[in-house]
Amino acid sequence: MNCQEVIKFRSVVKRVSRMVRSAAVLLVAAASLTAAVPGDAQASSGAAVPPKQPWSFLGVFGQFDQAALKRGAQVAVQSCLTCHSIKYIKFDQLRQLGFSELEVKAMAEGTGRTKKDPLTSSMDPTAAKESFGVVPPDLSLITKARKGYEDYVYGILVGYASDSDLALANRVMADGKIGAEEAKEVASALLLDGHYPDKMAETLKRMIGGENFNRYFPGNFFAMPQPLMDGAVAYTDGTENSKVQLARDVVTFLAWAAEPTQMERKSLGIKVILYLVVLTIMLYAVKRRIWAKVH
Amino acid sequence: MSKIMEWVDARLPVTELLKSQATEYPTPKNLNYWWNFGSLALLVLIIMIATGLFLAMHYKADANQSFDVVEHIMRDVNYGWLLRYAHANGASFFFMVVYVHILRGMYYGSYRQPREILWWFGIIIFFMMMGTAFMGYVLPWGQMSYWGAAVITNLMSAIPVIGEDLVVWIWGGFSVGDPTLNRFFALHFLLPLVIFGVVILHLWALHAVHSNNPDGIDLHDAKDSIPFHPYYTIKDFYGYGIFMIIFCIFVFYAPNFFLEPDNYIPANPMQTPAHIVPEWYFLPFYAILRSIDFLGSFSKLAGVLAMVGAIMILFVLPFLDRSPVRSFRYRPLSKQLFWIFVVDCIVLGWVGYNPADATIFNGALPLIIIGRTCTAIYFGYFFLLWAITALDIEKHQPVPKSI
Ligand code: HEM
């Protein structure tokens, strides 16, 4: 290195260390922020965070499992469509998932429509409001419209109280109050906050009373009765039709329905970004070359 | 070719303009990468106008249709998803770039004499950007669009005497509704073009006084300057490359990162969302607004004044700073104040993101206390900057005579 280069090198080192220092200040600030997560925001929603699921279609190279998409469409049409609409998807579009024209026609006619129709619910909104107190939301965008996205919708479908949960509730509430040990047991089984035994007792009472308890719904109770049970839909491809499997499949379908263009987006993205990376490297090389003359 | 140019130049001196204002335009040779953010802002503005124009060809402003029409663009229009995601993420990137651009100006003293008018045009642009972004967010007519519009327009009612009537006039009815949506669309179309005009004024002012530089000194030595082309054209293009890579990563692989899930629920005037949050770039100002809650019936008005004042105070910054030295590089105290200010803005943003009644440390510390403290620090920055420079408290380091 000649003298000038040494000076330049020193100034670069100085500059970098300055930047590191300011970055450190910002990082410390950011870290102390994340460490201090506000408590009330959590408590007021009163529901557990749904665990992350390994969805095949997420991530840069993620792809839809085509078989799961087809099964999911079947679950959606046969089960969810009783109450919900998926109005931004038309029956005809299901051919993109690998259904034949005849199959699509049969699916549409099975619910009294033609293949040109959107996937609207057979239940009319006033009737729905009468039976449930609310109109079930359209599901076209549901995986994008809730915090937790796909994991949340999946959590909703599998988060209901099972028979053993009910047995636990009955056992705990038999003496009318919740002990410290019981609170812990209930908290871990139903993902409730163990710090508030009164609130917990209230929840268990409503659960025993037959209201729709769900671990992941904010507030724990809502109007949707458990839609999926083991074996609720008959699969033709030999896949086991357990509740969990039905839920995985229908959520996969709903994730597609929320944005049918997402695979096009991702495959275009790779090309665009690769192009930009090459271009930017070349621009950098030219920039170095031009600026070499300036001291 | 040269014949044609001669003919044109005799009537409109294009070559002369390009030479003096672009190719040979003298620029300090030591500008660092923070100086890329002005041209980056221009790039994002162009992206926003271009994508916005094509979106407008398919969009309809109608309370019964807008939500569906946006989904129609996402699903049925060729590359409609690209237009919409580029436009939505572009807004966030616009603010990131402009915030860095403003902070760059604050750190290197670019607002100081003789660049006050340049600085003021910048703040006017920033103000109009906020208005444009706010009204644009209303257009998809989702839950956050509707309730965000309701909360923010409602602030006008704090204005004494005319407030209530003013809000009704802005809404075009007795609540946010179809007329509001339509006028917001008209204004959202217009404002960016006005911004474009002010950017031209901004650049005119820049070229009249020339760029500041990291040392914050006036350039007397001809050797300190280099022609804009090719040095800064290539440097700006390199910056564009880096920016576009980061931008595209979001557009193609995390397009909903900056969007609220609630805005994928159609607007419903009968159902208030559990937690109304503005877009991230408004959060520090939102926190300042909410931090004034201790003045009884005056709280709302005072909050609005504090929020507007937080931006307006930038206008007088050139007169608050009395140091003989521009760049904070040579001003140890100012530099520390600056970094406290930056961290303070981030903390304000975090306070603004959380519900007004949230607490930390198991209820021991209400966020509102942090919000008030940070609001005080925000305005304290401007006061202290004045105090340490006007009262000669800061001893600056030696400043180089030339670059
Ligand atoms: C639409 C938004 C904006 C665009 C397109 C824009 C564009 C530019 C460009 C191209 C430059 C020259 C390059 C540079 O020095 O960085 C510049 C300089 C400048 N801008 Fe902006 N700008 C915008 C917003 C703002 C805002 C909001 C402010 C401050 C409140 C501001 C303050 C300045 C200052 C002080 C300079 C001179 C910088 C110097 O030479 O030190 N600008 N702007």
Nearest in space to A88 (alpha carbons), one of A150, A152, A145: A145
> pLDDT by residue (tens digit) across A183-201?
999 999 999 988 888 899 9
B50, B57, B58, B323 from B73: Cα distances, Å: 16, 10, 7, 53
Q: Does the beta-carbon distance from B361 to A36 stay under 8 Å? A: yes
Cross-chain Cβ contact A40/B256 below 8 Å? no
Confidence of residue B308 (pLDDT cuts 50, 70, 90): very high
- Which DSSP helix (H) or strand (E) runs through A164? helix A163-173
Q: Which of B328, B292, B327 is nearest to B308 (CA)?
A: B292
Q: How far is the CA of A24 from the centre of ligand 1 (A)?
A: 27
Q: Which helix (H) or strand (E) holds B202?
A: helix B178-209
B256-268 pLDDT tens trace: 999 999 999 999 9
Q: How far is the CA of A72 from the centre of ligand 1 (A)?
A: 52
Q: Which of B39, B84, B215, B252 to mutate to test the interface with A (most CBs of A within 10 A)?
A: B252
The ligand 1 atom nearest the CA atom of B105: 35
User: Over 60: is that where the pLDDT of B148 sits?
Assistant: yes
d(CA B112, CA A112): 73
Residues present in chain A in total: 295
Least confident span in A133-137, A194-198, B31-35, B249-253: A194-198
User: Which of B202, B237, B321, B328 to mutate for ligand 1's pocket (most ligand atoms within 8 Å of CB)?
Assistant: B202
Does ligand 1 lie within 6 Å of residue B317's CB atom? no
- Residue with structure tokens 């671990």? A215
Query: Cβ separation of B261 and A88 shorter than 8 Å?
Result: no
What's the CA gap between A83 and A128, in Å, rounded? Answer: 7
B206: confidence class by pLDDT, cuts 50, 70, 90: very high
3-class secondary-structure state, position B360: strand
In the three-class reduction of DSSP (H, G, I as helix; E, B as strand; rest coil), residue A118 is classed as strand
The residue of chain A nearest to residue B366, with distances taken between CA atoms, is A38
Q: Does ligand 1 lie within 6 Å of residue B119's CB atom?
A: yes
Give yes or no for residue B281 CB within 6 A of ligand 1. no
Q: Does A283 touch chain B (CB under 8 A)?
A: yes
Instruction: Compare CB distances from A41 to B245, B253, B358 and report the shortest one's residue.
Output: B358
Q: What phi and psi values does residue A222 have, to the nearest 5 degrees?
A: -150, 180
Q: How far apart are the first and last CA of chain B?
A: 40
Residue B220 — very low, low, confident or very high, per pLDDT cuts 50/70/90? confident
Q: Worst-scoring range by mean pLDDT, A45-49, B292-296, B376-380?
A: A45-49
Residues A145, B367: C-beta atoms closer than 8 Å:
no
Catalytic option among B215, B224, B236, B394 = B236
CA separation (Å) from B26 to A276, B15, B212, B383?
30, 16, 12, 36
Contact (Cβ atoms closer than 8 angstroms) between residue A55 and residue A252 = yes
On the question of pLDDT at B137 being above 70, the answer is yes
Clarify whether B321 is annotated catalytic: no
> Up-side HSE of residue B181: CA atoms within 13 Å toward CB?
20
Confirm whether B235 is a catalytic residue. Answer: yes
CA of B122 relative to ligand 1 center, distance in Å: 6
Pocket lining: B110 vs ligand 1, CB cutoff 6 Å = yes
Residue scoring higher pLDDT (B14 or A43): B14
pLDDT at A197: 87
Of the partner residues A33, A280, A284, the one whose CB lies closest to the CB of residue B347: A33
Residues of A in contact with B355 (CB under 8 A): 38, 40-41, 44
Q: What pLDDT, on a 0 to 100 scale, did the predictor assign at position A267?
A: 97
Catalytic residue among B58, B229, B235, B335: B235
Burial class (CB in 10 A: 0-12, 13-18, 19+), A116: exposed
Closest to B335 (Cα-Cα) out of A17, A18, A12, A10: A18
Residues B346 and B349: their CA atoms lie apart, in Å, by 5
Chain A residues touching B339 at Cβ < 8 A: 22, 25
pLDDT score for A41: 40
**A35 in reach of chain B (CB within 8 A):** no
Alpha-carbon separation of residue A131 from A77, A87, B273 (angstroms):
20, 21, 24
Encode B221-235: b = buried (16+ Cβ within 10 Å), e = exposed: eeebbbbbbbbbbbb
Q: Atom 41 of ligand 1 has which residue's CA nearest to it?
A: B212
CB-ligand 1 contact for B196 (6 Å cutoff): no
Q: What is the average pLDDT value for chain B, to the nearest integer?
A: 97
Q: Identify the pLDDT of residue A196.
A: 87
- Whether A20 has its CB under 8 Å from any CB of chain B: the answer is no
Across the interface, whether the CB atoms of A261 and B350 are under 8 A apart is answered: no
Cα(B212)–Cα(B122) distance, rounded to whole angstroms? Answer: 15
Residue A13 forms contact with B (CB below 8 Å): no
Substitution target from B72, B78, B81 for chain A, most A beta carbons within 10 A: B81
What is Dmax (Cα atoms) for chain B? 79
**What confidence tens digit (pLDDT) does each residue in B173-184 have?**
999 999 999 999
Q: Which tokens go with B370? A: 């942090």
Which residue, among B310, B331, B392, has the nearest Cα to B109 in the 3D structure? B331
> Phi and psi for A118 in degrees, rounded to 5?
-75, 165
Q: Which residues of chain A have pLDDT under 50?
A: 1, 39-44
User: In order of start, what are the domains of chain B with their CATH numbers?
Assistant: 30-276 (1.20.810.10), 280-403 (no CATH)
Strand ranges (E), B87-198? none
Residue whose Cα lies nearest atom 42 of ligand 1: it is: B122
Give helix B37-56 / helix B80-107 axis angle, nearest 10°.
150
- Is residue B102 within 6 Å of ligand 1 at its C-beta? yes
Instruction: Report which of B281, B276, B289 is spatially closest to residue B142, judged by C-alpha positions.
Output: B276
Predicted local distance difference test score (pLDDT) of residue B348: 98
What radius of gyration, in Å, describes the C-alpha atoms of chain B? 23
* pLDDT for A194: 86
Residues of chain A found within 8 Å of residue B140, distances taken between Cβ atoms: none
Instruction: Answer whether residue B270 shows pLDDT above 80.
Output: yes
> Is residue B375 within 8 Å of residue B368, measured between CB atoms?
no
Nearest CB to A41; choose among B234, B241, B354 = B354
- Residue B71 to residue A140, Cβ atoms within 8 A: yes
Residue B366's DSSP bridge partners are B359
Residue B401 is a catalytic residue: no
Residue B294: predicted pLDDT = 93
Cross-chain residue pair A38–B252, CB shorter than 8 Å: no
B68 has catalytic annotation: no
Q: Which of B19, B72, B207, B335 is catalytic?
A: B207
Q: How many CA atoms within 13 Å lie on the side-chain side of B188?
A: 23
Read off the amino acid at residue B234: I
Q: Indicate if B236 belongs to the active site.
A: yes
- Chains A and B form CB pairs within 8 A to the count of 117
Q: Is the CB of B133 under 6 A from ligand 1?
A: no
Chain B positions touching A35 (Cβ under 8 A) are none
